[in-house]
Structure 1
Amino acid sequence: MPDYKQFPLADTAEGLTEAEILNWRVQPGDRVEVNQIVVEVETAKAAVELPIPWAGVVTELHVEPGQTVEVGTPILTVDTDPDGAGAPPQGSNGSAPAKEAPAEQQAAEEEMKPLVGYGSKTVVAKRRPRKVAQAADTAAVETPRTAVSDPLLTENVSNEPLTTPGKEYVPLAKPPVRKLAKDLGVDLRTVTGSAEGGVITREDVERAAGGAAAPAPAAAPAEPGARERRVPIKGVRKATAQAMVNSAFTAPHVTEFLTIDVTPMMELRERLKRDRAFAGVKLTPLAFAAKAVCLAVRRTPDVNAVWDDEAGEIVYKDYVHLGIAAATPRGLVVPKVRDADRMSLVELAAALDELTATAREGKTPPADMLNGTFTITNVGVFGVDTGTPIINPGESAILAVGAIRDMPWVVDGELAVRKVMQLSLSFDHRVVDGQQGSEFLADVGAILADPAVAITY
């Protein structure tokens, strides 16, 4: 007897409530194995591949790619006993009597249990509405118009005829035309559209109203919004926007700036690139900045603390989980280098290289974007000198690293051309006072201006 199981959208340990289905890796009729990847979803943090904890045959996909669904919603049904006979009992949710699962399947289910929305409640999957074929011999049905895929024309965005048994005919017209018809008192159901596919135009409505409509201004476009694009706010963009608004209007931001001569750092970088310990390692100015931050935190631990409003406490972190703001095709993400303060320069450089490459591919594990203590944003890679960065939620400071430029600089009383960089530090004034923020920024600048200073920290 078939044993139907429903696979719900799980929360990938992030505390999120929804995700967008990016693409399916299986189709109805496909056989799947335990822990096989069946779907890729995009959460507010990253793209995540979800494995299925059962083996069997996929019977139905409940969600189309591009749809956003809530955690716990069934997205796939699988028959875990495809070689059985008979149908599931009537009135049930499609599940056959329980039987002992193989050890591998039990292990997979145990692995899935921590995911919110998995196994927490019995959910009956809602099948997608089936397309109803139009009866050719139904005299009451109007001759079907050509289906149009433009969602601006009508709320009916499926490929089925706009007039089906039991459904009211929906005229094809864009929102501005519908508004015009409403203003002029014209019933669109009585108007014959002159555009391709039977679409009703402004001129059709005006003719039906007897020319009562006032002519549109000559300078106005024929269709408002014709040269605009609208993109739904979701995924990484939605989460980033909410986090930045919450941070900007919760933590009192203070931003300070420092311009430094990093010529000694760049000279050291060239020497280290020839060192065999750094062979195959991409040594960037960002790696030096990351190391400088980890060292400077030792002298000013306040920038690595966080304000806990609910508990009425300031929480000091004796570790540095360093966030690196990374621009990706899906938006801004901030993956973390765990325990960055315990790493050498060569280890930091390698970790940063791997982290940024993984982030750009959208493959950063969700767990790697949680629980940061301090963030660096490298605006210099875009040729920008400085900025006023917004603190990442759950932290108290963020450092912006600007572009390195050849600029005139006074050295020992003489004007010279040097490698110059600007730094900017934003900090939460509830946790970090002006003196502490200034001392931290000065320490970071001193290390980058003269890396030998690092041995004194």
Structure 2
Amino acid sequence: MGIRTIKMPDIGEGIAEAELVEWLVKPGDLIAEDQALAAVMTDKATVEIPATFGGKVVDLGGEVGKVIAIGAPLIRIEVEGDGDAEPAPTAEPAKAQTPAPAPAAAAPVAPAPQPKPAAPAAMARAPRPEGEAPLASPAVRARARDAGIDLRTVPGTGPAGRITHADLDAVFAAGPGTAPAATGRQRDMRVTDIKVVGLRRMIADKMSTSRSRIPHITYVEDTDVTKLEDLRETMNRSRKDGQPKLTMLPFLIRAMVIAIRDEPVVNARYDDDNGVVHQYGAVHAGIAVQTPTGLVVANLRHAEARGLWDLGAELNRLAEAGRQGRLTREELTGSTITITSLGPMGGISHTPIINHPEVAIVGVNKMQIRPVWDGSAFVPRKVMNLSSSFDHRIVDGWNAASFIQRIKTLMEEPALLFTEGEA
């Protein structure tokens, strides 16, 4: 027997290291070639690392949260024949395994048969020791979270007790009533410690950098979007096959493109380490997308060259790719100005944090019907606030206000969106 090492593979051009966000195996597990070993993250994309050969796991290359360089040892495997590393440290054998004399011709070791999905009665008790974290891929975790399922109550039938999609299917098939029923109001003494790793740590680091390095100025203005909403509904009713249903965002992006022509200072990235502002002609709109694992900013490239229908289609594509975790590195980098929208939970105002190293972010709040004085009477109008933040080192208050006021005019008189070029 020998020891072979699987190293962190090259998982993308220019990637020098990756953060370990989940182990899918543990020491003592028998693994097969191509079996997923670990999930790592880089540039907000999660990748599962497969085994390049089979054997028995000897030890792991680090704890969750560790940043591992490309080419550094990831995991050590005991294999038949010669290895490429030092012998594994002597470990106490598992209680369920008793060494037996090796036959003249050793037969391959086959994994033990996997148990069938647990019956409903098994769902009512914890399938693993208390405190032991369940093993599951990011996709399985996201599906369980969406369904409100606590993975600690789900028996895993995959390698090393890993929870699979089939195990979740068994829970769904079991139906309601498989979880322990509450016996009344009781004190909840649980404390859950959640290690900040992966995407959540990247978000935390990014927000800390933005808040600590950028002096924000936030400008809030209400916008009467009654005419714009009428136009949007008319366009949606008359849309052709293959054209997307338009939301408010394509109109806002179009208005921003036009307003940037008057205030180009807001469409920039500030290299504050070298004291250089990179001001762009292209408008690469960063779109904040909520995903099962956290908030990411997808890059809608060259918004200045797109019409309303094209903008709507690209927004839909990026949103769906974000929800499924399929955004590429190119789609997650390079934006020049960001839009953040809280959708129906938008509130009346908020203070968005700039996506460093950009210098501006436009925030959308929810639309409300408000009474507006038209000179002779109060009339109901559809009104929406724009809450926008700017890097005050680069963008003066006057320029920030002028930019938002130009957007306000374009959205209140949407015909102007079409006079600046084809939509």
Q: Is the 2:64–2:197 Cα contact (8 Å) retained in structure 1?
A: no
From 422, 427, 432, give the equivalent of 2:395: 432
Task: Give the corresponding residue for 2:40.
Answer: 41
Q: Is the 1:408–1:415 Cα contact (8 Å) retained in structure 2?
A: yes
Q: Give ranges in structure 2 of 5+ residues lacking alignment.
A: 97-127, 134-186
Q: Tell me the alpha carbon deviations over residues 133-188 of structure 1, each in whole angstroms, 9 at most, x when there is no partner.
A: 579xxxxxxxxxxxx95569xxxx9xxxxxxxxxxxxxxxxxxxxxxxxxxxxxxx
Q: Is the 1:37–1:49 Cα contact (8 Å) retained in structure 2?
A: yes
Q: Which amino acid aligns with 1:48?
A: V
Counting only pairs closer than 5 Å after superposition, residues 140-155 of structure 1 correspond to structure 2 as 149=129
From 171, 181, 199, give the equivalent of 1:236: 199
Task: Give the corresponding residue for 1:171.
Answer: none
Q: CA deviation at 1:130?
A: 4.1
Task: Give the corresponding residue for 1:314.
Answer: 277
1:30 lines up with 2:27 in the alignment = no
Q: Is the 2:5–2:74 Cα contact (8 Å) retained in structure 1?
A: no
Q: Is the 1:372–1:394 Cα contact (8 Å) retained in structure 2?
A: no
Task: Give the corresponding residue for 2:8.
Answer: 8
CA shift in 2, pair 1:57/1:431, >3 Å: same
Distance 1:278 1:410 in 2: 40
Q: Is the 2:298–2:322 Cα contact (8 Å) retained in structure 1?
A: yes
Q: Which moved more, 1:424-433 or 1:328-337?
A: 328-337
1:247 lines up with 2:247 in the alignment = no
Q: CA deviation at 1:412?
A: 5.2
Q: Which moved more, 1:255-264 or 1:366-375?
A: 366-375
1:395 lines up with 2:361 in the alignment = no
Q: Is the 1:297–1:440 Cα contact (8 Å) retained in structure 2?
A: yes
Q: Tell me the alpha carbon deviations over residues 380-431 of structure 1, each in whole angstroms, 9 at most, x when there is no partner.
A: 3324222010101110000110111111112354321111100011000111
Q: CA deviation at 1:438?
A: 0.8
Task: Give the corresponding residue for 1:71.
Answer: 68
From 318, 341, 345, give the equivalent of 2:304: 341
Describe the SS at the equivalent of 2:335.
coil
Q: Is the 1:373–1:395 Cα contact (8 Å) retained in structure 2?
A: yes
Distance 1:296 1:87 in 2: 68
Distance 2:414 2:23 in 1: 46
Task: Give the corresponding residue for 2:157.
Answer: none
Describe the SS at the equivalent of 1:236.
helix
Q: CA deviation at 1:365?
A: 2.1
Task: Give the corresponding residue for 2:108.
Answer: none
Q: Which moved more, 1:388-397 or 1:39-48?
A: 39-48
Q: Which amino acid aligns with 1:359?
A: G
Q: Is the 1:21–1:64 Cα contact (8 Å) retained in structure 2?
A: no
Q: CA deviation at 1:258?
A: 0.7
Q: Is the 1:258–1:424 Cα contact (8 Å) retained in structure 2?
A: yes
Q: CA deviation at 1:74?
A: 2.8
CA shift in 2, pair 1:125/1:400, >3 Å: farther
Distance 1:347 1:66 in 2: 45
Q: Is the 1:307–1:430 Cα contact (8 Å) retained in structure 2?
A: no
Counting only pairs closer than 5 Å after superposition, residues 75-90 of structure 1 correspond to structure 2 as 75=74, 87-88=81-82
CA shift in 2, pair 1:436/1:4, >3 Å: same
Q: Which amino acid aligns with 1:291?
A: R
Task: Give the corresponding residue for 2:163.
Answer: none
Describe the SS at the equivalent of 2:410.
helix
From 308, 312, 323, give the equivalent of 1:360: 323
State percent identity of aligned pairs.
30
Distance 2:343 2:210 in 1: 23
Q: Is the 2:24–2:36 Cα contact (8 Å) retained in structure 1?
A: no
Task: Give the corresponding residue for 1:59.
Answer: 55
Describe the SS at the equivalent of 2:390.
strand
Q: Is the 1:48–1:363 Cα contact (8 Å) retained in structure 2?
A: no
Pairs aligned (count): 329
Larger Cα Rg: Structure 1 or Structure 2?
Answer: 1
CA shift in 2, pair 1:412/1:277, >3 Å: farther
From 225, 232, 238, give the equivalent of 1:262: 225
Task: Give the corresponding residue for 1:19.
Answer: 20
CA shift in 2, pair 1:393/1:308, >3 Å: same
TM-score, normalised via structure 2 length: 0.67
Task: Give the corresponding residue for 1:132.
Answer: 93
Q: Which amino acid aligns with 2:19?
A: E
CA shift in 2, pair 1:131/1:296, >3 Å: farther
Describe the SS at the equivalent of 1:403.
strand
Q: Is the 1:14–1:367 Cα contact (8 Å) retained in structure 2?
A: no
Distance 1:261 1:69 in 2: 50
Q: Which amino acid aligns with 2:385?
A: Q
Q: Is the 2:243–2:309 Cα contact (8 Å) retained in structure 1?
A: no
Distance 2:62 2:344 in 1: 34
CA shift in 2, pair 1:9/1:129, >3 Å: farther
Q: Is the 1:37–1:51 Cα contact (8 Å) retained in structure 2?
A: yes
Q: CA deviation at 1:376?
A: 0.6
Q: Which amino acid aligns with 1:367?
A: E
Describe the SS at the equivalent of 2:415.
helix
Q: Which amino acid aligns with 1:303?
A: V
Q: Which amino acid aligns with 1:30?
A: A
Q: CA deviation at 1:31?
A: 4.2
Distance 2:63 2:241 in 1: 44
Q: Which amino acid aligns with 2:313?
A: A
Q: CA deviation at 1:456?
A: 4.6
Task: Give the corresponding residue for 2:369.
Answer: 406
Q: Is the 1:11–1:71 Cα contact (8 Å) retained in structure 2?
A: no
1:350 lines up with 2:306 in the alignment = no
Distance 1:434 1:274 in 2: 40
Q: Which amino acid aligns with 1:71?
A: I
Distance 1:298 1:428 in 2: 19
Q: Is the 2:33–2:50 Cα contact (8 Å) retained in structure 1?
A: no
Counting only pairs closer than 5 Å after superposition, residues 105-184 of structure 1 correspond to structure 2 as 130-133=91-94, 149=129
